[in-house]
Amino acid sequence: MKIEVNDKVYTVKLAVSPAEKKKGLQNVSKLDSDKGMLFVWEAPQTVGMWMKDVLIPLDIIFINEDLEVISVYTGNPGSEVIAEEDNVAYVLELNADSGVKDGDEIELNSDSNSTSMKVIAPDGSTQMTIDGGERIFSRKNTKTLIRMAKRAEDSNSDKDFKALGKKFFQFVKTQDTNEKEYVEVPKD
């Protein structure tokens, strides 16, 4: 994904899942000047970030849902001081001294090759937008994968990780072999 701030474009990795957010940029020894990481939350909330196990100084940039910078905190490698902010929808991590400041506006650009799909609620409003070819599993299958993932993480057992992988690929294969389904667009 590309992010633009003050006419500078950054290519960022996304951190959406709890595991991705927990890992962040830990153990990264060098970050190119045009690279970073974007942490994404489903809804604005209080977010705390720290630099434990991070090897390079970073700007931790708190962003609201209107894509405006709330605050910028410069984190020092290995620091366990928690930088915290309210009403955060995104956190952008860039090399320290990025020049990003409070009030700056962020522009998010997904890859030009990606397509978007909107998940529509019963009342016709958009529940979520999906970019980049993500798969949608049924609630039942999602709950199964989450349960198995928690079990594997807790046990740290190869057997549980293999079972999770096998189940995931079983669900993907089922999706790939199902007949395509389409939803009619509501008429105004």
Which of the four pLDDT bands, split at 50, 70 and 90, describes residue 141?
confident
Give me 58's structure tokens.
């970073």
Among 73, 43, 48, 40, CA closest to 59: 73
Assessment of whether the complete model's pTM goes beyond 0.75: no
Cα separation, 104 vs 37, in Å, equals: 17
> According to the model, what pLDDT value does residue 53 have?
92
> According to the model, what pLDDT value does residue 137 have?
72
Among 43, 11, 23, CA closest to 108: 11
More confident call, 180 vs 145: 145
Fill in the amino acid letter for 158. Answer: D
Look over the chain and give the mean of its residue pLDDT values, rounded to a whole number. 85
Count CB atoms within 10 A of the CB of residue 7.
Answer: 5
CA angle, 160 then 133 then 7, to 5°: 115
Cα separation, 25 vs 46, in Å, equals: 20
Which of the four pLDDT bands, split at 50, 70 and 90, describes residue 188?
low
Residue 133 scores a pLDDT above 60: no
Cα separation, 33 vs 124, in Å, equals: 42
Query: For strand 35-49 and strand 8-15, is the pairing parallel, antiparallel, or unpaired?
Result: parallel
> According to the model, what pLDDT value does residue 112 have?
44
